[in-house]
Structure 1
Amino acid sequence: MLTGAAALADTPERVVSVSDAPQRVVSVSDAPQRVVSVNLCTDQLAMLVAAPGQLVSVTPLAANPRTSAMADAAAGLPVNHARAEEIYLLNPDLVLAGRFTDRATIDMLRRLDIRVEEFSPAYALSDVAARLTQMGAVLGQQARAAELVDGFNADLAMLAGPVGNRPQAALYYANGYTSGDASLAGQILSAAGFDNVATGMGYGAIGALPLEVLAMAAPDVVITGNPYPGASRAEAVMDHPVVHALKRGRVSGTITDRNWVCGTPFVLRAVEDLVALRHAVEAGR
């Protein structure tokens, strides 16, 4: 059962404190009053950190339970579609964007003298604390962010205890992609007590894993993506007989995208799910 930051809503070797991520710090008295987020991950970080009424608009993805861990919290907020014209009409004093948000939108907003703060994606569990700290700094909510960081670090330490004989696991997504330990998904896997077969093959962040190589690796667990409705050819590989054969007689898992996609405290739910999966593997040995 999670507490702290996870209840509100890895490798654990490095715990980030609120002083580790330098950024422009805003005092409470100078905190922005009308904040607009144009990125799914900043949507959720802002909903966690912002004071009541401070966040005035988020993206439609924030209210989609498929993609957002905070869909219920976002349901009552006005949405925007990351278009400069509509954002300008919201009269924001701060816009929160991702590093890969459309550059034309960001450049136009800055030409209109609207402050834009950009957030990089999380590539490691340590980035969760860094992103919370950054959000607290730009919103003038440092105390709230520090509380969330402390809760996240405590919950992560509780989940990611020492593991003896670590089972082998493979992450397998649409188009046959996988993730190594230099990725958020890979670190979630490691924190839950699994060894990532992709890392042993030399994968760092993300890359295509040939089906034949996956079959020869014969991992203890194959964790596949959660398919979207429809008939995507990209996801057809996850229904391949080889993948089904690897899962047959083994414990298998499915990635729940909303808990894996952003560097928020909700990644702890993904770790918790995988810890339970590891226990099931160990019980079947």
Structure 2
Amino acid sequence: MVFAVAAMVGNGAAGTELPRIASMNVCTDQLLLTLADPEQILGLSRYARDRFQSWAAQDARRYRILSGGAEDILVLWPDVVVASLFDKRATRELLKEKGLHLAEFGVPRSLDEVKDQIREMGAIVQHPDRAAAEIARLDAAVVRARQAVAHRRYRVLPLSRRGWVSGSESLLSSLLTETGLFNAAGELGVAFGGFASLEAIVNLKPDFIVVSDAGDTAEDDGRAFLLHPALERFYPPSKRIVIPDRLTVCGGVMLEDALDVLVKELGRVAR
């Protein structure tokens, strides 16, 4: 479907202008910023500059920020709007009714799906060579991580606010599994994601927990869960692998950085 959209907006190789694109979602923002020419980007989502959600927050400061509604996109009239299937359905349908071309991306659950989306965005912006280069870098990062994990059959548990566990069928789990680590969430019966009790986490006894922040302060009750005395006792800093959310919340080229951070963290905790 996405390749068909690319064909509808022209062919850069034939000398026509490259498509002008607006993004409605923080994940499509990051793919677009990585693969498109700056002049192709008409606008980004309202979360594009959020450094906690976006790996490319600094780069996003150069571009117009959209409201999330249809009005400002219609004023810009891009050749293609890139969006998530989780963006507001009514807005997406209105843009389609007005004649705009939408390329809608799902939530990837595996590295293979991530690579497919990188290729799809490369086709939309008409820079497939850049997409291929990013995939090659991601593959190289996977190799580095596998070498770091070799012969270490660690059981890890990705854990975040209020005891939320990234399940065995989540993107983060796929990332860990690709390196040779084992996501213990499956032992809790968690597939895509779910909450686990403090007792269940402690009884599970994973080798490490994977968290997004190494801080020792809690700004709210959700964060305070990770600083509970029981978790701090069994999972001090030496038992916590820290990978910031902005490196794993989306499927894209930032996963290369996530894998390199994982390698560094394994080097730290395995000492």
TM-score range, shorter chain: 0.7 to 0.9
Q: Which runs of 5+ in 1 are unaligned?
A: 1-20
Counterpart CA distance in 2 for 1:82 and 1:249 is 39
Aligned AA for 1:143?
D
Q: Of 177, 181, 184, which residue of structure 2 is paired with 1:197?
A: 184
> 1:1-16 alignment to 2 at 5 Å?
none
* 1:96-245 map, 5 Å: 96-161=82-147, 163-226=150-213, 231-245=219-233
The 8 Å contact of residues 194 and 278 in structure 1, kept in 2 or not, is answered as no
Are the counterparts in 2 of residues 125 and 188 from structure 1 also a CA contact under 8 Å? yes
State the distance in 1 between where 2:152 and 2:103 align: 44
Shift of the 31–262 alpha-carbon distance from structure 1 to 2, 3 Å rule, reads: farther
| Secondary structure in structure 1 of the residue aligned to 2:90 | helix
User: Which residue number corresponds to residue 76 of structure 2?
Assistant: 90
CA distance in 2, matches of 1:244, 1:192: 26
Quickly say closer, same or farther: Cα 1:180–1:31, change in 2 above 3 A: farther
Match of 1:39 in 2: 25
Q: Aligned partners of 1:282 and 1:254: how far apart in 2?
A: 13
Q: Trace 1:13-24 onto structure 2 (pairs within 5 A).
A: 23-24=3-4
Identity %: 26
SS of the equivalent of 2:66 reads: coil
Contact 2:209/2:241 (<8 A) preserved: yes
Partner of 2:65: 79
Greater RCO (CA < 8 Å, at least 6 residues apart): 1
Paired letter, 1:260: T
1:261 is displaced (CA, Å) by 0.7
Shift of 1:154: 2.8
* Residue 240 of structure 2, aligned match among 240, 252, 260: 252
**TM-score, with structure 2 as normaliser:** 0.87
Cα RMSD after superposing both structures: 2.3
Bigger mean CA deviation after superposition, 75-84 or 167-176: 167-176
Instruction: Return the letter of the residue paired with 2:154.
Output: P
Partner SS state of residue 92, structure 1: coil
Out of 251, 256, 280, the position equivalent to 2:268 is: 280
The CA deviation at 1:32 is: 5.0
CA distance in 1, matches of 2:2, 2:23: 21
> Residue 167 of structure 2 contacts residue 193 of structure 2 at CA under 8 Å; is this kept in 1?
yes
| Runs of 4 or more above 6 Å deviation | none
Higher helix share: 2
Show CA shifts across 1:207-253 (max 9, x none).
212211111122221223438x9843333322222211122374313
Partner of 1:265: 253
Q: Conserved in 2, the CA contact under 8 Å of 1:167 and 1:281?
A: no
1:4-58 Cα deviation digits (max 9, x unpaired): xxxxxxxxxxxxxxxxx97424332466532100100100101111123011110
Q: Secondary structure at the match of 2:134?
A: helix
Instruction: Using the TM superposition, give the Cα deviation of residue 174 of structure 1 relative to its aligned residue in structure 2, in angstroms.
Output: 1.3
* Alignment-derived partner of residue 16 in structure 1: none
1:53 matched to 2:75: no
For 1:158 and 1:256, locate their aligned partners in 2 and report how far apart those are by CA, in whole Å: 19
Secondary structure of residue in 2 paired with 1:96? strand
Task: Name whichever of 229-238 and 71-80 sits farther off.
Answer: 229-238
Task: Decide whether aligned partners of structure 1 residues 282 and 263 sit closer, same or farther in structure 2, where only a CA change above 3 A counts.
Answer: same
Offset, 1:274 = 1.8
Cα distance change, pair 175–275 in 1 and its aligned pair in 2 (3 A) = same
Stretch moving more, 248-257 or 237-246: 248-257
